[in-house]
Amino acid sequence: MLGKERAWEVLRQADIIHDAPVIDAAVTRVAEEVNAALAEREPLVLAIMGGGVVFAGQLLPQLRFPLEFDFIHVTRYRGGMQGGQVSWPVAPHVPVAGRSVLVIDDILDEGATLAAVRERFLADGAASFHSAVLCEKDLGRTKPIRADFVGVVVPDRYVFGCGMDVHGAWRNLPAIYAVASS
């Protein structure tokens, strides 16, 4: 964790990328797209903790069909700013075999984490795999997976807010910010 004074300093110096009204509109649009695509499937919806919890909390009330909800914890970051090996601190509690699965996450960055989730669930017998991310980072190169539903695009910078943290702080912000360039 950054500590209170350092956390406030990071926020003061940060650049706002998408404000709260833009995020709200993006969540509503994604919900409409998910409703159109998955309403007849009664999917198993899995939020990736901890970043996906904010987006899931905004998205789920706007989904207009029966679903089963659970969570997973899969990560490459462990509090840092660069990804490493994919780890599964919490696997799904509900079997995915034969189910349409919708995974909700905060960001599609390089794509390694979400691709690993997709591979595992399809190997475990999921009937279909879908993903919804609040934001996708524009890296300017091909990723190993594309999200089915994307709220907003963010630049290739370290972003935080709306479930994404900077050294453990600021997941709770209603807007997306980028750490100031050095």
Domains in the chain: boundaries: 23-152
Catalytic-residue membership of 109:
yes
Q: pTM of the full predicted structure?
A: 0.92
DSSP 91-115: --SS--TT-EEEEEEEEESSSHHHH
Which amino acid is present at 77?
Answer: Y
Terminal CA-to-CA distance of the chain, rounded, Å?
A: 20
Rg for the chain, CA atoms, rounded: 16
* Rounded-to-integer distance, Cα 133 and Cα 89, Å: 20
**Residue 89 confidence (pLDDT):** 86
On whether the 23-152 domain is CATH 3.40.50.2020, my answer is yes
* Helical (H) or strand (E) element with 15: strand 15-18
pLDDT tens string 128-144: 999 999 999 999 999 99
Please check the confidence at residue 80 and state whether its pLDDT lies above 60: no
Which amino acid is present at 133?
Answer: V
**Residue 86 confidence (pLDDT):** 79
* Rounded-to-integer distance, Cα 28 and Cα 157, Å: 25
CA distance readout (Å), 176 to 21, 24, 180: 11, 11, 13
From 24, 105, 106, 109, the catalytic residue: 109
pLDDT tens string 12-52: 999 999 999 999 999 999 999 999 999 999 999 999 998 99
**Dihedral, CA of residue 86, residue 88, residue 93 and residue 99, to nearest 10:** 10
Q: Could you tell me how many residues make up the chain?
A: 182
Please check the confidence at residue 78 and state whether its pLDDT lies above 70: no
